[in-house]
């Protein structure tokens, strides 16, 4: 659990495996019910209530569901951006205008993803967002997030930092995935809030 980076990675892999194993046992009904509850909690967040542009993502498989939230944000008149995976694992962005604006994309041997089918806005489009919804596997008591390990959102967070952009960073998780501590590396950044089906937890960070 060192801040230097190297010792953390095996610990991260182990924690990822454990969380993904628990998620794999969820039923479709579990995922659907959680998605409705998550949307209700997230929509009450001031950071989303006042947002004009939200960079989000479309959940896949047993991930905490985001589609109900995306549609509710659109119904409020919010501009919703969704990512498109680039060959180097960076993310481009496109506007979400309903389920008809999505296309299924197979990325090599990886899981197929649904991505925006319209105009690509470029990787820097995320810097205009008022809030960014980040996928994750866990968040700890300090607000440190455990991702899947692909590095795409590390690039997003680094891009926001370079642009001196400060959107609200929000992670959507199941309740059991808010843990005491996750292993961190030097490049990891804390988030502002985590939303679960049962509530919201906020984190205060020093300036």
Distance from C-alpha of 149 to C-alpha of 146, rounded to nearest angstrom: 8
150 is in an annotated binding site: yes
146 is in an annotated binding site: yes
17 is in an annotated binding site: no
201 is in an annotated binding site: no
CA-nearest of 175, 165, 166 to 201 is 175
Query: Is residue 126 a contact partner of residue 55, using CB atoms and an 8 Å limit?
Result: yes
What backbone phi and psi angles, to 5 degrees, belong to 86?
A: -95, 160
174 is in an annotated binding site: no
100 is in an annotated binding site: no
63 is in an annotated binding site: yes
172 is in an annotated binding site: no
Describe the crossing of helices 67-75 and 28-43 by its angle, rounded to 10 degrees.
30
Q: Other CB atoms closer than 10 Å to residue 42's CB: what's the count?
A: 26
152 is in an annotated binding site: yes
Query: Is residue 83 a contact partner of residue 115, using CB atoms and an 8 Å limit?
Result: yes
96 is in an annotated binding site: no
**Token pair 């998780």 in the structure block, residue:** 173
33 is in an annotated binding site: no
110 is in an annotated binding site: no
Exposed e or buried b per residue across 62-82, where buried means at least 16 C-beta atoms within 10 angstroms of its C-beta: bbbbbbbbbeebbeeebbbbb
**Length of the chain counted residue by residue:** 207
109 is in an annotated binding site: no
111 is in an annotated binding site: no
149 is in an annotated binding site: yes
67 is in an annotated binding site: no
**Could you give the C-alpha distances from 154 to 9, 31, 61, 90, 104, in angstroms and in order?**
14, 26, 22, 9, 24
Residues of the binding site for substrate: 58, 63
Residues of the binding site: 12-16, 58, 63, 145-153
Residues of the binding site for ATP: 12-16, 145-153
């Amino acid at each position: 659990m060192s801040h230097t980076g190297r010792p953390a990675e095996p610990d991260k892999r182990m924690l990822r495996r454990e969380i993904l194993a628990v998620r794999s046992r969820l039923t479709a009904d579990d995922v659907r019910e959680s998605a409705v509850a998550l949307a209700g909690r997230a929509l009450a967040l001031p950071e989303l209530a006042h947002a004009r542009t939200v960079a989000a993502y479309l959940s896949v498989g047993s991930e905490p569901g985001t589609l109900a939230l995306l549609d509710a944000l659109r119904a409020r008149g919010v501009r919703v951006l969704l990512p498109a995976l680039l060959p180097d694992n960076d993310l481009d962005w496109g506007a979400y205008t309903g389920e008809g604006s999505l296309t299924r994309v197979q990325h090599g041997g990886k899981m197929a993803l649904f991505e925006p089918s319209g105009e690509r806005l470029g990787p820097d489009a995320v810097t205009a967002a008022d809030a960014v919804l980040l996928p994750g596997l866990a968040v700890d008591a300090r607000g440190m997030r455990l991702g899947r390990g692909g590095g795409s959102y590390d690039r997003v967070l680094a891009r926001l930092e370079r642009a001196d952009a400060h959107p609200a960073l929000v992670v959507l998780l199941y309740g059991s995935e808010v843990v005491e501590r996750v292993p961190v590396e030097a490049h990891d950044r804390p988030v502002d809030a985590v939303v679960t089906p049962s509530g919201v937890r906020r984190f205060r960070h020093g300036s």
